[in-house]
Amino acid sequence: MAMPEAGLLTQPDDAAAEPEEVGPVLSTKPASRGRVIWRRLQHSPRFWIGGVVIVFFVLWAVFGQFLTQWSPTDQDVNNMNYPPTILHWFGTDILGHDLFAQIVSGLQKSLIIGFIAGPASTLIAGVLGATAGYLGGASEKVIAWVIDLLLVLPSFFILILLYPFTKGSWVVMMIFLAVTGWMIMAQVIRNQTRSLREREFVKAARYMGFGTWSVVRRHIIPNVASLLIIDATLGIAAMILAETSLSFFGFGVQPPAVSLGTLLANGQSAATTRPWLFLFPAGTLILLLLAISLVGDALRDAIDPTSGVNRA
C-alpha cells in the first residue's frame, strides 16, 4: 500500500532515522515511540506532499471567501454560463453562481463532514472491536454478528435507505455516515485484541483486579492506537468520498447548501459542453482525496515499517 519514492529506495526510513536516534546517547531517556514515528514521517516525501496539499485545501476552505467578491448564493445574471474569466475565476453556472465561491463553500462542508465522520467511525470501530475482542463470549458473538449483518448490504445502499430519515439535514447524514462506516476496521481491531488479551501485561492487569474498561483503555487501545490513527486518516477520505457520492445522486447535502457532491451533480449535465463546471469540483475532490491517502499511507509506513515500502 505504499508508493515508493526515488530517495527512499536504497535507504529505508529506518536506516535514515538511525544516526539521529543513536546520536543523543548522553540522554538517559530512550526515544519515545511518538518521536521515532515523527522522525520517520519527516523523511517521507509522501507525508510532506500530502500534508501541504491538505493544509492548502483547509486554508482555502477557511479563507477562500475573502479572496472573491462573490458569495456562493450571488447570481450574476449578466454573466451566466461564463467560462473562467478575470471576473469569475472558475466561471459561472447556468444561474450565474460564481463557481469559485461555490467550491469554497462546498469544500468547507465536505471537509467538516470528513474530519468529523471519519474519526467518529474510527472511534466506534475501536470501542466495539476492542470490547468484542477483549470480552469474548456472548458480547463478541453479538458484535461480530452485527458486523456481518451490516456488511451484507454495501453501505451506499444502507445510506440511501436511511436518506428519508435525514429529512435533508447534512448533520444527520454525517452521523449516519459514521454509523455505517466502521465495520471492517472493527474486525481488524477485534482480531488484534484477541491476541493482545493473551499477552502477559494484559493478564497481569486483569489479575490485579482492574475492571474491563480500565484494561481496554490503558492497555488495549494504546496497543491498537497505530491502527486507529491510520484508519482515522484514511477514514476522512472515505467519508468525503461517501458524502460526495450520496450528494451527487441527491441523497446527501440538499440545496441550497452546497458540497463538492452537489457541485459535481450540477456540473454533470454540462460536462461535455461547459466542462469547467465539472472539472473544477472534480479536480478539487480528486486532489484532496489523493493528498489524504498519501498522508495515511505515509503514517502507515512510519508506524509499521515492516509493511509497505520498506518491506523485504
Partner 1 sequence: MTIYILRRVFNYLILTAVASSLAYVLASIGLNPVWELQNRHPKPPQSSIDQLLDAWGVNPSVPLIQRVWTWFTNIFHGDLGLTVGNQPVTQQLLVRAGVSLQLLLIGSILGAVLGVVLGVWGAVRQYKLSDQVVTIVSYIVFATPVFVMGILFMIVATDLNNLLGIQLITFSGQYSANAPDGFWPQLGDRISHALLPTLVLMIAGAASYSRYQRNAMLDVLGADYIRTARSKGRTRGSALVRHGVRIALIPMSTFFAYSFGTLVAGSAMLEIVFSWHGMGELAIQSIQQNDINSVAGSTLFVAILILCSSTLSEILYAALDPRVRR
Q: Which residues bind partner 1 (CB under 8 A)?
A: 1, 3-4, 9, 148-149, 151-157, 160-165, 184, 237, 241, 244-245, 248-251, 264, 268, 271-272, 275, 278-279, 282, 285-290, 293-294, 307-308, 311-312
Counted residue by residue, the chain has a size of: 312
What minimum distance in Å lies between the beta carbon of 192 and partner 1?
Answer: 16
What minimum distance in Å lies between the beta carbon of 49 and partner 1?
Answer: 11
Cβ burial of 201 (10 Å; 0-12, 13-18, 19+) is exposed
What minimum distance in Å lies between the beta carbon of 159 and partner 1?
Answer: 10
State which residue, 215 or 292, has the beta carbon closest to partner 1.
292
What is the C-alpha to C-alpha distance for residues 186 and 194, in angstroms, rounded to an integer? 12
What minimum distance in Å lies between the beta carbon of 213 and partner 1?
Answer: 30
What minimum distance in Å lies between the beta carbon of 112 and partner 1?
Answer: 19
What minimum distance in Å lies between the beta carbon of 155 and partner 1?
Answer: 8
State which residue, 51 or 205, has the beta carbon closest to partner 1.
51
Q: Which amino acid is at 122?
A: T
Give the C-alpha distances (Å, rounded to integers) separating 195 from 150, 190, 192, 211. 25, 9, 6, 19
What minimum distance in Å lies between the beta carbon of 237 and partner 1?
Answer: 7
State which residue, 105 or 155, has the beta carbon closest to partner 1.
155
Can you give the C-alpha Rg of the chain in angstroms? Answer: 23
Q: Which three cell numbers stand for residue 206?
A: 486483569
What minimum distance in Å lies between the beta carbon of 178 and partner 1?
Answer: 18
State which residue, 32 or 272, has the beta carbon closest to partner 1.
272
Residue 98: strand pairing partners: 92
State which residue, 134 or 233, has the beta carbon closest to partner 1.
233
Alpha-carbon torsion, ordered 146, 147, 152, 153, to 10 deg: 90
State which residue, 124 or 294, has the beta carbon closest to partner 1.
294
Phi first, then psi: what are they for 11, rounded to 5°?
-135, 100
Q: Which amino acid is at 256?
A: P
State which residue, 3 or 127, has the beta carbon closest to partner 1.
3
